[in-house]
Structure formats: structure tokens, C-alpha cells
């Protein structure tokens, strides 16, 4: 077999293939920042309380630490939390096309997942306590590819999550019908 025989490259069709490079992504719900802040602050709070108590009772001693100012040390970590949460939320987004759904996240390390509707096995809606507090939900999409969810879209308003789920399932159903 020669190279020219096996090389199939239909230029007309290839040019028609839509690219997912310049998609316009929908932002997640604006309450996403608040959920992130709540979650991250709780993670921050646990060692902070431990630090304050231990230092307050004199359990932590070092020649570098003296007086009241070490109590303020955990506050330094608050700055990146307060800056990063809104920034991270701004970098998350999803896009729905006719035949697939895309999700992107990451401030520096950016990730973009693409999932064709006709590969979706099932969809799950999930609400952790913080999301429930803010009336948000996470949509999880499963394919036959991995063990855990292949795509997770967090921080969707509950009604938006339900609408999107219905839309995706409808599209997935259409895709299945087409094939059959």
C-alpha cells in the first residue's frame, strides 16, 4: 500500500468541520464565587483555629515567634483565597452545541473537556450543602470511558441545571434514535 492510497483527506469536508477552538462559553452562576469562598474558607478555618488555640496556649514555641503578631499569620492566606475565588469562577464556563457539550476551567492550567451527546450514558445532579445553601447544583455526565464522572459542571442555578439536564438527555436520546 502506498502513502497516497491510504491517505484520506477530503479538503471540502475537512474545511467544513466545525472547530471548538473559538467557542463562546457561558459563565456559571455568579453565586459560584460565594460557594467557592465558603468552601475554601472552611478549609482555611480548620488549621487557623488549631493554630490560634495551640499558639494561644503556648503549645507552639519558636525563637521566631513571639508576642501577638503570630496570631495574624493565617490572615496572610486569606489574601490569595479572596483573590483566587472570583478569578477561578470567572475562568469556568460551559458551551452547548448541537451535538456536544464543552466545559472549561483553570486559571493558569487550563482544561477543556468535550463530550459528544451520543456518548452520554447517564447524567446526575448533585448538591453539596454549600451549593444547597446558595440554590446551586452540579451536573455530572458519565460516559463509558472512565469510572468517575467524565464531565462535571458545578454552580448551576437549580432550574438551569434541570433545564440543561433535560436538554442534554433529549439530545442524547435524539442521537440514539438517529443511530438506530
Partner 1 sequence: MNAPEVKPADGLQKLVGNEWHRLAPAAIVHFMVKFVLGVAKNGIQNVAYLGGIAVFTGDNRWWILGLIASGALITLIVSGVLAYLSFKFRMEGQSFLIKRGVLNKKRLTLSFDRIQNVAIKEPIYFRPFGLVALGLESAGSSDEEISLAGIPRTLAEQIRTTVLQKPAAPAKAKAATKEAVTESQPSQENEELLLAQPISELVRYGLSNNNIWVIAGLATGAFFQQAEAWEGAVEDFVRSTVIPVVGDSPVILGSLLGGVVLFIVLFLMTLSVLGAIIIYYNFRLTFADGRYHRTKGLFERQETSVPESKIQSLQINQPWPALLLKRWHITIKQVGFGKTEHQPGSQRPSFIIPSVTPEFFRPFTERLLGPIDWGTQLSRVSKRYVWTSFLYWFLPPMVIAALIIGYFTGTKGFIFPFVFSLVILPTLILRHRRFGYWTNGKTALVRSGLIGNQTSAFAFRKVQTVILKQSPSQRRRDLATLTIQLAGQTLTIPFMPLEDAAYWRDQILYEAETSKLAWM
CA geometry: angle 19, 25, 27, nearest 5 deg: 170
Of 26-34, 39-47, 62-70, 137-145: span binding partner 1 (CB under 8 A): 137-145
Among 42, 47, 99, 167, binds partner 1 (CB under 8 A): 99
Of 34-42, 72-80, 100-108, 130-138: span binding partner 1 (CB under 8 A): 100-108
What's the min distance (Å) between Cβ of 72 and partner 1? Answer: 27
Q: Is 146 a residue that touches partner 1 (CB under 8 A)?
A: yes
Q: Is 19 a residue that touches partner 1 (CB under 8 A)?
A: yes
What's the min distance (Å) between Cβ of 161 and partner 1? Answer: 20
Q: Is 12 a residue that touches partner 1 (CB under 8 A)?
A: no
CB atoms within 10 A of CB 24: 6
What are the contacts of 36-44 at 24+ separation with CB within 8 A? 36/85, 36/88, 36/89, 37/81, 37/82, 37/85, 38/130, 38/133, 38/134, 39/130, 40/81, 40/85, 41/81, 44/74, 44/77, 44/78, 44/81
DSSP letters, 61-78, are: --TT--SSGGGGTTHHHH
What's the min distance (Å) between Cβ of 149 and partner 1? Answer: 10
Q: Is 61 a residue that touches partner 1 (CB under 8 A)?
A: no
Q: Is 11 a residue that touches partner 1 (CB under 8 A)?
A: no
Q: List interacting residues with partner 1 (CB under 8 A).
A: 1-3, 5-10, 14, 17-21, 99-100, 106, 108-119, 143-147, 150-151, 175, 178-179
Amino acid at each position: 500500500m502506498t502513502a497516497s492510497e491510504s491517505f484520506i483527506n477530503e479538503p471540502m469536508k475537512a474545511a467544513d468541520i466545525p472547530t471548538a477552538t473559538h467557542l463562546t462559553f457561558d459563565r456559571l452562576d455568579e453565586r459560584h464565587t460565594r460557594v467557592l469562598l465558603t468552601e475554601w474558607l472552611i478549609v482555611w478555618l480548620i488549621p487557623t483555629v488549631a493554630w490560634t488555640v495551640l499558639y494561644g496556649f503556648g503549645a507552639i514555641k519558636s525563637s521566631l515567634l513571639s508576642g501577638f503578631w503570630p496570631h495574624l499569620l493565617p490572615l496572610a492566606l486569606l489574601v490569595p483565597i479572596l483573590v483566587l475565588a472570583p478569578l477561578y469562577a470567572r475562568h469556568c464556563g460551559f458551551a452547548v452545541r448541537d451535538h456536544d457539550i464543552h466545559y472549561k476551567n483553570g486559571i493558569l492550567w487550563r482544561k477543556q473537556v468535550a463530550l459528544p451527546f451520543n456518548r452520554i450514558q447517564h447524567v446526575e445532579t448533585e448538591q453539596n450543602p454549600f451549593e444547597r445553601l446558595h440554590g446551586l447544583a452540579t451536573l455530572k455526565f458519565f460516559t463509558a470511558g472512565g469510572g468517575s464522572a467524565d464531565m462535571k459542571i458545578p454552580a448551576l442555578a437549580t432550574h438551569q441545571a434541570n433545564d440543561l439536564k433535560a436538554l442534554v438527555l433529549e439530545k442524547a436520546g435524539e442521537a440514539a434514535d438517529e443511530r438506530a
